[in-house]
């Protein structure tokens, strides 16, 4: 019996000793770095006993080119704590007002409310969502980007778009919030002070002044919603400044589930098959390399492989007519000639026109070298692994095979032509600004590296693009009735979906007014049916919207 008692007592002593040692470990030795997860127990204890109501997360905001807010909206709000209603007596209610008033159950009855609660609701819609991007909490990624922040509170970081590219300047320094203590049931302890904290530096957080025109962006967003484009979008540039005025991408971004339906992707910066839009590269290369005789004709009653074209027997056409009527045979032959001279020529001129290799502004911003404003795909002409044979060259010449470009790259190509061969990087941001609107860093207009096209070739490209619209049989002839003269090129790329269905990317890219270019516009309706809305129709409508806006 005594032996059993001693054994039991020994077990109790050992058990309590272990618990005591654990308590010592927690309270004395590892209070700020407990377990392998490195938990700060002091901070966790404070968090358990306090609740915060965030007024402003402190993260930097985005404004448009005119200083209008894009990513935020200021509004006056009332914070109500329902649990304090019991502290109000009838006589106090009467002393608080001299006018008729509603209290307690009367409020519930009149407003159909069952108790007054505070709900933090994320905005369900925001302008240029894919262009601006989203933020979210990711502790590991936060520490990867900012290793010096270990031990501090994790902050929301940019996950996509400009939020991600400019995260280093947008990250919050201090939030504006109310802190109050709660009891075991989570009820506010108003015997203790409510603490208000806010940034003390009037110059921060920084703001990002984008190149977006809010009014135009709103109109183009509404237009795409109205016509029901499911995939694709619109990109509008200021031709003189090489700046993005509007960027609309579909499918829409769902704030509640951003990674569904590829809504988080900015389709304007994602590469897809261009179709006949790529013929501009073939045309530019052939002019520069002296491979074009403008009197030469091509048999456009045949397809690119030399077989009879049943659907479109166009007959013999010159290069100029071939571009206007979108004859594939001509550009397949020109592409083959270029490949026979030098297989690298198509890539060389695609790069000269800004179609591949990236078109967005890049450079050094303070200590950040090779900073890129825009998270864009680079595009390609060939897959490096496959041999460049005759058949592949023909398919490449009409923008099929391995060719992949972004709408941003196509906009850059049109911008180069519109500006007489001058090559500038495309900007999406003008300035990083202090909170008071003064400049912290300005992004200057930036020439692209390398040589451009000759003035003669550029002049010919302008002439041919205008003929696409002027010619009665041109694919852009429907644009002749617009209030301004337009030059541009259509494209219809045939693509095969994973399910085996054939769909189409319908493009139109161009600039206007023709003689004094002000805008560059690229539209694309991706993965649509043969009867889907054409690029020409979208282009036509948007030009009308812009000039009704002006």
Q: How far is 419 from 421, CA to CA, in rounded Å?
A: 6
Q: Is residue 276 flagged as an active site residue?
A: yes
SS3 308: strand
- What is the rounded distance in angstroms from the CA atom of residue 214 to the CA atom of residue 212? 6
Question: Is the bond preceding 464 in cis, omega lying within 30 degrees of 0?
Answer: no
Residue 487: C-alpha distances to residues 65, 207, 418 (Å): 27, 37, 9
Residue 404 carries which DSSP code? B
Q: Which two tokens stand for residue 100?
A: 């008729």
Cα end-to-end distance, the chain, whole Å: 101
Strand partners, 182: 188
Distance in angstroms (rounded) separating the CA atoms of residues 542 and 289: 36
Report DSSP state, residue 498.
T
Instruction: List all residues 6 or more positions away from 179 whose beta carbon is below 8 Å from its beta carbon.
Output: 50, 51, 52, 194, 195, 196, 197
**CB under 8 Å to 98, separation ≥6 — which residues?**
none
- Residues 39-69 as b/e (b if ≥16 CB within 10 A, e otherwise) read ebeeeeeeeeeeeeeeebbbbbbbbbbeeee
Q: CA gyration radius for the chain?
A: 31
Task: Tell which residue, 301, 323, 320, 299, has the closest CA to residue 312.
Answer: 301
Catalytic residue among 160, 247, 276, 412: 276
Asked whether the beta carbons of 508 and 490 are under 8 A apart, the reply is yes
Name residue, tokens 């530019």: 284
Which residues belong to the active site? 276
């Amino acid at each position: 019996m005594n032996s059993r008692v001693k054994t039991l007592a020994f077990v109790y002593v050992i058990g309590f000793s272990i618990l005591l040692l654990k308590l010592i470990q927690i309270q004395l030795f590892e209070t700020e770095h407990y377990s392998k997860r490195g938990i700060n127990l002091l901070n966790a204890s404070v968090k358990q006993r306090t609740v915060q109501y965030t007024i402003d997360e402190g993260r930097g905001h985005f404004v448009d080119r005119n200083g209008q807010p894009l990513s935020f909206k200021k509004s006056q709000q009332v914070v109500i704590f329902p649990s304090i209603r019991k502290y109000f007596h009838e006589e106090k209610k009467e002393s608080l007002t001299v006018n008729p008033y509603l209290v307690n159950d009367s409020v519930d009855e009149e407003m159909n409310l069952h108790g007054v609660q505070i709900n933090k609701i994320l905005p369900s819609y925001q302008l240029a969502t894919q262009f601006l991007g989203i933020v979210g909490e990711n502790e590991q990624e936060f520490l990867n980007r900012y290793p010096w922040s270990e031990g501090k509170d994790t902050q929301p970081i940019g996950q996509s778009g400009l939020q991600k590219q400019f995260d280093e300047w947008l990250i919050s320094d201090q939030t504006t919030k109310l802190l109050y203590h709660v009891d075991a049931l989570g009820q506010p302890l108003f015997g203790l002070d409510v603490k208000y904290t806010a940034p003390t530096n009037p110059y921060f957080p920084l703001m990002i002044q984008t190149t977006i025109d809010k009014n135009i962006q709103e109109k183009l967003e509404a237009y795409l919603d109205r016509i029901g484009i499911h995939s694709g979008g619109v990109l509008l540039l200021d031709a003189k400044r090489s700046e993005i005025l509007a960027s609309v991408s579909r499918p829409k971004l769902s704030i509640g589930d951003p990674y569904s339906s590829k809504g988080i992707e900015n389709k304007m910066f994602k590469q897809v098959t261009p179709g006949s839009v790529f013929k501009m590269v073939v045309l530019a290369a052939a002019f520069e390399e002296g491979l074009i005789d403008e009197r030469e004709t091509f048999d456009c009653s045949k397809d690119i492989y030399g077989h009879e074209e049943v659907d479109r027997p166009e007959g013999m056409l010159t290069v100029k007519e071939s571009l206007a009527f979108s004859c594939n045979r001509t550009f397949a032959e020109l592409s083959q000639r270029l490949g026979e001279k030098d297989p690298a020529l198509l890539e060389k001129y695609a790069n000269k026109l800004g179609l591949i290799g990236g078109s967005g502004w890049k450079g050094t911003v303070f200590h950040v070298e090779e900073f890129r404003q825009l998270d864009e795909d680079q595009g390609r002409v060939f897959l490096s692994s496959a041999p460049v044979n005759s058949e592949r060259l023909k398919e490449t010449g009409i923008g099929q095979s391995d060719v992949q470009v972004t709408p941003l790259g196509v906009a850059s190509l049109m911008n180069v032509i519109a500006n007489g061969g001058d090559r500038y990087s495309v900007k999406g941001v003008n300035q990083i600004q202090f909170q008071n609107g003064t400049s912290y860093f300005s992004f200057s207009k930036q020439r692209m590296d390398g040589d451009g096209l000759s003035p003669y070739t550029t002049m010919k490209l302008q002439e041919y693009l205008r003929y696409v619209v002027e010619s009665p049989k041109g694919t852009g002839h429907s644009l002749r009735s617009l209030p301004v003269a337009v030059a541009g090129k259509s494209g219809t790329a045939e693509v095969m979906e994973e399910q085996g269905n054939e769909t189409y990317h319908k493009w139109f890219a161009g600039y206007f007014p023709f003689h004094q270019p002000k805008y560059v516009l690229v539209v694309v309706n991706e993965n649509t049916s043969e009867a889907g809305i054409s690029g020409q129709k979208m282009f036509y409508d948007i030009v009308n919207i812009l000039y009704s806006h002006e």
